[in-house]
Amino acid sequence: MCFDHVDFDAHEHVAIAHDDASGLKAIIAVHDTRLGPALGGTRFWRYDDTDAAIGDALRLSRGMTYKNAVVGLNWGGGKAVIVGDPKQDKSPALWRAYGEALNRLGGLFVTGEDVGMTVADVDAVRRHSPYIAGSSSCAAASGDPSPFTAEGVFLGLIATVKAALGGSDLTGLRVGVLGLGSVGWKLADKLHRAGARLIVADVDADKTKRAADAFGAAVATPAALIGCEMDVFSPCALGGTLDERAVDSLKAFAIAGAANNQLATPDIDAALAQRGILYAPDYVVNAGGVVNVAAEAEGDYDADTVMISVRRIPDTLTAIFNRAKATNRPTSEVADAIARERLEAAQQAA
């Protein structure tokens, strides 16, 4: 039962969507709607079992609640996962079934692109449901959100460096980028142009070879990167990278990356802080994508206006860092507290 799941956190609604004919197996988790209907991406992934898929949906949806609250969006938090191989299991029938599953929720949850999904997939679902954003063809189409996510992560990383060192020049700084997907690659390009020295890792050896050629990056395996000599670690793949082993072996003074749920357990942030490693809360750093998708979902999309909002991410991070320092609390605890303050204010005003 979801109620007994270790990742269940008073979620308002958890739906299982199944269609035998198309092979659809999806979990849609709505965590909190005090600020508005839930907004969060759909992840298409090969999960080891159903419990792992449910856990991911529960964790990610909670993260969306806090992300949307902290960055000032009037949207609640939700997330969906589709169980399957994103390279083999997509089909028109599956997208129809998934669109119909979204329709059954009647607007309680609006979704978009996440790991394993593309703009073309969003377009395919949108033929059957209006409750998906990030498309290429609707009246307020915003398209690929990764440029906005990457810009937010890049600016957030600079803000983190500034908070840790007092300066924002990346020239010569060693940055380890784990994951060279659409966001990780764009981030690596921005860091290279800013003069950083890159160490990259990805499960796809072709991507790391291209990064070595394009950016002069050193290459490590995903398992080895965490122990490499670097100044900043930027996790941009799947979550859970920062565990007890990372606390012991990470050789960096700061962490700022695009991955969701980077902390394997909530106590990891405090352990990192004890080692003098400044952690930029992931759901603040990577909020650029949802800011972009929210603008489309609200029907008044303008890329320049979205970018102005994305460029406020460093201000939000700096406020978190300052409050954490003043109160001697971990940065993720402070970010969560700020989010809860906004959620409680919305509840009281209702």
- Picking from 300, 257, 252, the residue whose alpha carbon sits closest to that of residue 276 is 252
CA–CA separation, 71 and 314 (whole Å)? 11
Query: Which two structure tokens, joined as six digits, stand for 57?
Result: 């949906």
Contact 215, 158 (CB under 8 A): no
Residues sharing a CB contact under 8 Å with residue 305, sequence separation 6 or more, in sequence order? 295
- Residue 186 designated active-site: no
- Picking from 184, 349, 328, the residue whose alpha carbon sits closest to that of residue 256 is 184
SS3 sequence of 43-106:
EEECCCCHHHHHHHHHHHHHHHHHHHHHCCCCCEEEEEEEECCCCCCCCHHHHHHHHHHHHHCC
For 243-271, give one letter per residue: b (16+ CB within 10 A) or e.
eeebbeebebbbbbbbbbbbbbeeebbeb
Which residue among the candidates 67, 79, 190, 207 is catalytic per the annotation? 79
For the CA atoms of 156, 180, 80, 30, what is the dihedral angle to 10 degrees? -10
110's enclosing H/E stretch is strand 109-110
- Known catalytic residues are 79
